[in-house]
Amino acid sequence: MPITRDEVAHLAGLSRLALTEAELEHFAEQLDVIITSVARVQEVAADGIAPMTHAVPVVNVFREDVEVPCLAQEVVLSQAPAAEQGRFRVPRILTED
Amino acid sequence: MTELTAMTAAELAAAVAAGEVTAQEVTKAHLDRIAAVEPQVHAFLHVAADQALAAARAVDDRRAAGMPLGPLAGVPLALKDVLTTADMPTTAGSRILDGWQPPYDATVTRRLREAGVIILGKTNMDEFAMGSSTENSAFGPTHNPWDLSRVPGGSSGGSSAAVTAYEAPLAIGTDTGGSIRQPAAVCGIVGAKPTYGGSSRYGLIAFASSLDTPGPLARTVLDAALLHEAISGHDPCDSTSVNAPVPPVVAAARQADVGGLRIGVVSELSGDGYQPGVLARFGETVELLESLGAKVVEVSCPHFTYALSAYYLIAPSECSSNLARFDAMRYGLRVGDDGTRSAEEVMALTRAQGFGAEVKRRIMLGTYALSSGYYDAYYGKAQQVRTLVTRDFDAAFEQVDVLVSPTTPTTAFPIGERADDPMAMYLADLCTIPSDLAGNAALSVPCGLAPEDGLPVGFQIMAPALGDDRLYRVAAAVEAALEDRWGGPLLAQSKGLGR
Amino acid sequence: MTDLATTLVPYDEALARYEPVIGLETHVELGTATKMFCGCRTVFGAEPNSEVCPVCLGLPGSLPVANRAAIEYTIRIGLALNCSISSWCRFARKNYFYPDMPKDFQISQYDEPLCTDGWLDITVRDTVGDRQVRIGIERVHLEEDTGKSLHVGGATGRIHGADYSLVDYNRAGIPLVEVVTKPVPGAGALAPEIGRVYVTELRELLRALDVSDVRMEEGSLRCDVNTSIAPAGSAQWGTRTETKNVNSLRSVERAIRFEIQRQAGVLDAGGRIVQETRHFHEDTGTTTAGRSKEEAQDYRYFPEPDLVPVAPSPEWVAQIKAALPELPAARRVRLQAEWGLTDLDMAALRNAGALELVEQTVAAGASAADARKWWLGELARRANEQGTELAALPVTPAQVARVAELVSSKTLNDKLARQVLDFVLAGEGDPDEIIAARGLAVVSDDGALIAVVDEVIAASPDIVAKIRDGKTAAAGALVGSVMKATRGQADASRARELILERIAAS
């Protein structure tokens, strides 16, 4: 089932990418080819196989609750696109949290 | 190219330590070389001449004060621009980070500095390490020194080209699906992917967290081993860092003896659609190893045929999440903030302009694979396939000590040839991906030129996790025997910028 | 976004026709010294963006490393809530874009929480008496907090109408434990109170565990309330709404109550409840619609690849369990037995917020009876007058114990004791200092007292006559006069003795 332009628009929205109409069409075509190809994984019988998420089978890696020096405020804000009153200034937020 | 730039890292380190040459002289020679060839190669995004000379002076001062020097002190290095440097900008090859100055060094960066290695600058790469040709860089491609109209491979193309063009004897790349080994192969140099977790990811701008691995690029196996050791080891800042002794790769590189070693040729990785010259050189190298005393058998790893598909689900999924932080709020590019737009709009506009096409494709692919309703069939299934790939490796390593294959199905392709065909581009990673999925160690060593185009072919060696030393033992044997046959290093045969 | 005309059905009416089901999600900021995944400090009120590092700022290349103490605190909470502790679980990424989230994903837990399936018993007041309710705990999991935004330009400082926002990431990365209850059906009219009492009990439990300072006003304890209603007798539960910005215990109760009334109004009018997030307003006690959850956010959860699984060993869990302090419920049982109180007495103490104060007063040397008398009597009255809580009064348990002791030793009588406490509350110092400065001790010198008694006797011949007649009760009036004459500083019972003696003797 080919991936549609609307589905790509949905994905673009979810990932905060403002794509043009032309891009949406173009990406839809390309993504369709790719998804069809990678869907091959579904051919593999994998009942009862645990998914792998770590090459390294290690557990319980912790740090102790001890202070470590942090960054200075000027350094933190030095790369900010906009700053005000020691804070990062961002455009008005639409979605409520 | 002066004498100094033709020397290996081991030779340079020895010369500096012996006082035959100063680190500053070595650094200057390489900076000159960079200036001479960069207009054609474009391996570097940023050359830090002042910092490099200052670091070199510090090494010279240490030596003058009679203090001990590490095995690579005074040796210049090119650092892939995906690792943070507190005194140089870091872009990950992307417009979205153009001009970003990190406030901290990556652990790999820090270890290099502590070792007295001289960081000459940051090298070009496919944007956020996504690609196999370095054409996805926002700052223009890098050119293969063997043939400037061709790609140097990717995503560590800049690092690979820099070493190949004698701009530095050492370079650091990162390997997620083959991004160290494949560039090394198409550039005719040595490139290794350590065991996942063997080298720290702290300060490595993440592409795919469960796959990314920093590793060495060099012109000789010994040089690669020395660099491999210098950057490896447990890091408490990286939870996935391996807490085990670094495998003895340098000792293994000096050992170069494969008598009695069991070698497995992976049947699923030596076949259809590969360039004939690649297969020919590969086959000859296998025979060579047999003649040196290794026992060669064929081994089947049936799930390797699904490895590419699994990888192109897992890596995009992780990257779709890792790249979310580039939202124009705290650093990097911000577009469209004219007082009328919302944060959401500014985020979307910035990311649309700041990311290239391949990055956007992978973000959307990853978002798709993780979506509710699709997770089980795509990401979930891919992770299961990954377990099966790992089990194939485990079973194989019961029978053999190392597995081998061509590093990549073709030699360096022309710039532009695959740029519009993502799937064709992905095929470059066919042979390298399985080791990334399993987290195993793997290495590419040059094994000759393809007769049809005179371009380098790489021989891939794969070892179990924490078996990195086996790679160097086999690679050193191959290198010694082949250089003997060739009468010198492969690079000497280059008619391009190699000489 | 404003609601269409909201009809509120009167509460009792709503409860007559609908059955509410509630659930509570509580976020607790842990009181660890450092953040969840890095070594930055977790202090409150620091200069903005001065307690951040590459990790909690989510800078490119940064990586998280889990804080062992935070894991331990979470297990402690789970054990105290009778949960099962997972033997192997992972963190997961919850992906969504928001400016206060440095990575635009939150490291949390999804389908593998650290603790599951527990309970907390609470007691609520019914029309017939006390009722025990067992609140099921679905899960307790661990995650990281976000930064904080100030919204500039709007009228109320809220997002609506703001021109831009200012973000401080000091709070980003502070460990947050989320405690989620199972739905609580069958609460009926008690639903709002059950919500409030649950949060109260949970808070007390968390304080006893020493894992958080649980200050709702500072945000270290945050509550979201889920409410749904269904027609009485129906088999299915209704659609629930989630109400946020519930910043006090009283708000928990008010929010539930309002939602029940509002939802009843919607259903009565033939409408349907939208599954959404609502915002509670302190000033009006109402909720308004926020983000619609109809199209539920797809967080695309997947296991966090930068962290390894957490597998608490049985030994570690046993260690934590053994080190659990006495929990509030057990402590209450013990104190009730020690003090010989009835259930009603205990309830009175708790309702007045006097339990700890009485305990501390007893620890300072008073008897339980005396401690109760003072805290539930005089001091409760004063607290009511001032509109404050008992604990907020400027008098310490030690001071109350001292006053009780002074009364027992007859240095003070009741009336004087009350005066002394007044002066303590006024900030004049300790009881002994006040007594010395103001000369408030009971007059213990018989000589001075006899003189006053004689005067009073002489001034009240008719009362004296009555007493001579055998009506000793009349002595009370003379005692009153003596007390007045001595400005309350006589020992009343001694005065009475002396009065009868002197009358008999004359």
Closest CA to B361 of B326, B312, B414, B415: B312
Between β-strands C276-281 and C175-181, what pairing exists: parallel, antiparallel or unpaired?
unpaired
Closest chain C CA to residue A10: C298
| Helices C446-459/C475-485 angle, 10° precision | 120
CA distance B56 to B71: 15
CA distance A11 to A13: 5
Whether the CB of B424 is below 8 Å from some CB of chain A: the reply is no
Cβ pairs bridging B and C (under 8 Å): 97
Q: Does the distance separating the beta carbons of C68 and A68 come in below 8 Å?
A: no
What one-letter code names the amino acid at C429?
A: G
What one-letter code names the amino acid at C387?
A: G
Q: Does the distance separating the beta carbons of A16 and C33 come in below 8 Å?
A: no
CA distance B20 to B26: 11
B155 is catalytic: yes
Each residue's pLDDT tens digit, A27-84? 999 999 999 999 999 999 888 999 887 777 899 999 999 999 999 999 999 999 999 9
Q: Does the distance separating the beta carbons of C306 and B239 come in below 8 Å?
A: yes
**DSSP letter (8 states) at residue C125:** E
C27 Cα to chain A: minimum distance (Å): 15
CB of C221 closer than 8 Å to CB of C212? yes
Percentage of chain C beyond pLDDT 90 is 67
CA distance B149 to C383: 87
Q: Does the distance separating the beta carbons of A95 and C291 come in below 8 Å?
A: yes
Nearest by CB to residue B364, choosing from A15, A80, A95, is A15
pLDDT value at position B498?
55
Q: Does the distance separating the beta carbons of C64 and B324 come in below 8 Å?
A: no
Beta strands in C232-293 (DSSP E): 241-246, 276-281, 286-292
CA distance C286 to C15: 18
pLDDT value at position C1?
36
Q: Which residues 218-247 of chain B have a CB within 8 Å of chain A?
A: 236, 239-240, 242-243
CA distance C197 to C123: 8
CB of C357 closer than 8 Å to CB of C329? no
* Helix boundaries (H) for B247-373: 249-255, 276-291, 307-322, 343-354, 357-370
Nearest by CB to residue C53, choosing from A63, A71, A86, is A71
- Mean pLDDT across B404-417: 97
Between β-strands B456-463 and B441-449, what pairing exists: parallel, antiparallel or unpaired?
antiparallel
pLDDT band at B265 (very low <50, low <70, confident <90, very high): very high
pLDDT value at position C294?
44
- Mean pLDDT across C54-78: 98
* Cα separations in angstroms, B400 against B262, B264, B465, C28: 5, 6, 14, 53
Neighbours of B245 (CB within 10 A): 10
Q: Does the distance separating the beta carbons of A63 and C52 come in below 8 Å?
A: no
CB of C91 closer than 8 Å to CB of C165? no
CB of B53 closer than 8 Å to CB of B179? no
Nearest by CB to residue C97, choosing from B104, B327, B379, is B327
Is the pLDDT confidence value at C415 over 90?
no
Is the pLDDT confidence value at B374 over 50?
yes
Beta strands in C262-337 (DSSP E): 276-281, 286-292, 302-303
Nearest by CB to residue C97, choosing from A16, A56, A89, is A16
In this structure, what are the phi and psi dihedrals at residue B307, rounded to the nearest 5 degrees?
Answer: -60, -45
Beta strands in A3-96 (DSSP E): 62-63, 83-84, 87-91
Q: Does the distance separating the beta carbons of A17 and B348 come in below 8 Å?
A: yes
A89 Cα to chain C: minimum distance (Å): 5
pLDDT band at C291 (very low <50, low <70, confident <90, very high): low
- Continuous segment of H or E residues that includes residue C130: strand C130-144
CA angle B295, B300, B305 (to 5 degrees): 140
Is the pLDDT confidence value at C162 over 90?
no
Judging contacts by C-beta atoms under 8 Å, the chain A residues touching residue C99 are 88, 90, 93
Is the pLDDT confidence value at B261 over 70?
yes
Provide the β-strand partners of residue B150. B414
Is the pLDDT confidence value at C2 over 70?
no
CA distance B7 to B11: 6
Query: What's the whole-number average pLDDT of chain C?
Result: 91
- Mean pLDDT across C84-107: 97
- In this prediction, the answer to ipTM > 0.90 reads yes
Provide the β-strand partners of residue B123. B44, B80
Whether the CB of B317 is below 8 Å from some CB of chain C: the reply is yes
Nearest by CB to residue A49, choosing from B361, B377, B387, is B387
CA distance B491 to B499: 7
* Helix boundaries (H) for C352-413: 355-363, 368-374, 380-386, 397-408
CA distance A49 to B381: 9
Judging contacts by C-beta atoms under 8 Å, the chain B residues touching residue C103 are 324-325
Provide the β-strand partners of residue C167. A88, C149
- Mean pLDDT across A22-29: 95
Each residue's pLDDT tens digit, B282-325? 999 999 999 999 999 999 999 999 999 999 999 999 999 999 99
Closest chain A CA to residue B347: A16
Judging contacts by C-beta atoms under 8 Å, the chain A residues touching residue C39 are 63, 66-68, 70
Q: Which of A17, A35, A37, A74 to mutate to test the interface with B (most CBs of B within 10 A)?
A: A17
Is the pLDDT confidence value at C388 over 90?
no
Q: Is C396 helix (H, G, I), strand (E, B) or coil?
A: coil
Judging contacts by C-beta atoms under 8 Å, the chain C residues touching residue B372 are 298, 300
CA distance B14 to C429: 80
CA distance C139 to C93: 18
pLDDT value at position C293?
45
Closest CA to B132 of B456, B447, B417: B417
Percentage of chain B beyond pLDDT 90 is 95
Percentage of chain B beyond pLDDT 70 is 99
- Mean pLDDT across B1-15: 92
**DSSP letter (8 states) at residue C44:** S
Q: Which of B196, B301, B368 to mutate to test the interface with A (most CBs of A within 10 A)?
A: B368
pLDDT value at position C297?
80
Nearest by CB to residue C308, choosing from A54, A70, A77, is A54
Q: Does the distance separating the beta carbons of B209 and C306 come in below 8 Å?
A: yes
CA distance B306 to B310: 6
In this structure, what are the phi and psi dihedrals at residue A83, rounded to the nearest 5 degrees?
Answer: -140, 150
Is the pLDDT confidence value at C292 over 80?
no
pLDDT band at A95 (very low <50, low <70, confident <90, very high): confident
- Which chains have 3+ CB pairs within 8 A of B? A, C
Q: Does the distance separating the beta carbons of A31 and B387 come in below 8 Å?
A: no
Q: Does the distance separating the beta carbons of C64 and B325 come in below 8 Å?
A: no
* Rama region for C504: left / alpha / beta (φ>0; ψ in -120 to 50; rest): alpha
CA distance A91 to B484: 65
CA distance C73 to C70: 5
CB of C22 closer than 8 Å to CB of C195? yes
Neighbours of C356 (CB within 10 A): 18
CA distance B214 to B80: 9
Structure tokens at C174: 């502070």
What one-letter code names the amino acid at C504?
A: A
CA distance C342 to C365: 22
| Catalytic option among B94, B132, B133, B155 | B155
Is the pLDDT confidence value at B1 over 60?
no
Whether the CB of C151 is below 8 Å from some CB of chain A: the reply is yes
Whether the CB of B103 is below 8 Å from some CB of chain C: the reply is yes
- Mean pLDDT across C137-153: 96
pLDDT value at position C45?
87
B80 is catalytic: yes
Closest CA to B102 of B123, B83, B124, B85: B85
pLDDT band at C218 (very low <50, low <70, confident <90, very high): confident
Judging contacts by C-beta atoms under 8 Å, the chain A residues touching residue C97 are 16
Each residue's pLDDT tens digit, B68-104? 999 999 999 999 999 999 999 999 999 999 999 999 9
pLDDT value at position C295?
53
| Catalytic option among B137, B179, B199, B320 | B179
Query: What's the whole-number average pLDDT of chain B?
Result: 96
Closest CA to B171 of B150, B153, B146: B153
pLDDT band at C493 (very low <50, low <70, confident <90, very high): confident
Structure tokens at C4: 């269409």
Provide the β-strand partners of residue C277. C242
CA distance C243 to C290: 9
| Catalytic option among B80, B122, B133, B193 | B80
Structure tokens at B175: 């390997």
Is the pLDDT confidence value at C153 over 70?
yes
C368 Cα to chain A: minimum distance (Å): 41
CB of B96 closer than 8 Å to CB of B128? no
Each residue's pLDDT tens digit, B203-253? 999 999 999 999 999 999 999 999 999 999 999 999 999 999 999 999 999
Neighbours of B213 (CB within 10 A): 27
In this structure, what are the phi and psi dihedrals at residue A60, rounded to the nearest 5 degrees?
Answer: 55, 55
Whether the CB of C234 is below 8 Å from some CB of chain A: the reply is no
* Helices and strands counted in chain A (H then E): 3, 3
The residue with greater pLDDT, C268 or C486, is C268
Q: Does the distance separating the beta carbons of A68 and C34 come in below 8 Å?
A: yes
Q: Does the distance separating the beta carbons of A41 and B381 come in below 8 Å?
A: yes
Q: Does the distance separating the beta carbons of C103 and B330 come in below 8 Å?
A: no
- Continuous segment of H or E residues that includes residue C148: strand C148-152
pLDDT value at position C490?
80
C39 Cα to chain B: minimum distance (Å): 11
Q: Is B298 helix (H, G, I), strand (E, B) or coil?
A: strand
CA angle B141, B147, B151 (to 5 degrees): 35
Write down the residue that tokens 């003896």 correspond to.
B257
Structure tokens at A15: 């990932």
Whether the CB of B205 is below 8 Å from some CB of chain C: the reply is yes
CB of C191 closer than 8 Å to CB of C22? yes
Q: Does the distance separating the beta carbons of B348 and A91 come in below 8 Å?
A: no
Provide the β-strand partners of residue B47. B121
